[in-house]
Amino acid sequence: MPDPSTKAPDPMDIALGAAVRIRRRTIGLSQEALAEQCGVSFQQIQKYENGANRISFSRLVQIARALKCRVVDLMDVLDTPEGGTNSDIDVLTRMRTPGALELLSAYERLAPESRASLVALLRSLTNEPALAANQAA
């Protein structure tokens, strides 16, 4: 039987934490400021954002208030209809990658032809097959 203390975080906890992180970064709030508003340490906020610790509902309400949004705004992506895909959860999980938010922000500011060139460059660096041109831009 696996040791529960070494169990990997649940993908839902990771996705919720990523949603909190994205919202926090979007409004320019530091982990320290969020922690202070919620009455926890910034390390606890890190654990929430990484999915290492589950966020209780009461804490989620505090976090949503501090982030000036509704609880449902943070949980919306987790509420996939039965038979739906988990692609939104996958996107949130990938957004945890260091630099992902900064990269996406810079990518959004590029002209479409520059986006296509950048995607082609990245695919060549990672040896990933090219997608159709309309998907790259």
Query: What would you report as the CA-atom Rg of the chain, rounded to the nearest whole angstrom?
Result: 17
In tens, the pLDDT along 84-130 reads: 456 666 777 777 777 887 888 888 888 989 888 888 888 888 887 66
Output the pTM of the full model: 0.66
66-77 pLDDT tens trace = 999 999 989 876
Domains of the chain: 1-96 (1.10.260.40), 99-137 (no CATH)
